[in-house]
Amino acid sequence: MKRILITGASSGIGLAIAKLLVAQGHEVWGTSRNLERIPKLPRWHAVRLDLADRLSVEEAFNFALTEAGYFDVLINNAGAGHFGPAEFLPMETIVNQFQILVFGQIQLMQLALRHMQARGEGLIINVTSLASRLPVPFMAAYNAGKAALAAFTLSIQLELGDSRVHIVDLQPADISTEFNQDVSKSTQRDPRYDDKVASAWEVTERNMRDAPKPDLVARHVLKLISTVHPPLRITVGNAFQSKIAPLIFRFLPQRVRLWGLRRHYDI
Q: Among residues 117, 113, 136, 139, which one has the least CA distance to residue 126?
A: 113
Q: Among residues 51, 73, 59, which one has the least CA distance to residue 4?
A: 73
Our answer to whether residue 2 is catalytic in this structure is: no
- Residue 101 near residue 86, CB atoms below 8 Å: no
Catalytic residue among 2, 40, 70, 146: 146
Our answer to whether residue 142 is catalytic in this structure is: yes
In angstroms, the CA 60 to CA 78 distance is 14
- Residue 6 near residue 30, CB atoms below 8 Å: yes
Largest CA distance in the chain: 57
Helices within 69-139 (DSSP H only): 91-98, 104-119
Catalytic residue among 142, 185, 196, 213: 142
Catalytic residues: 142, 146
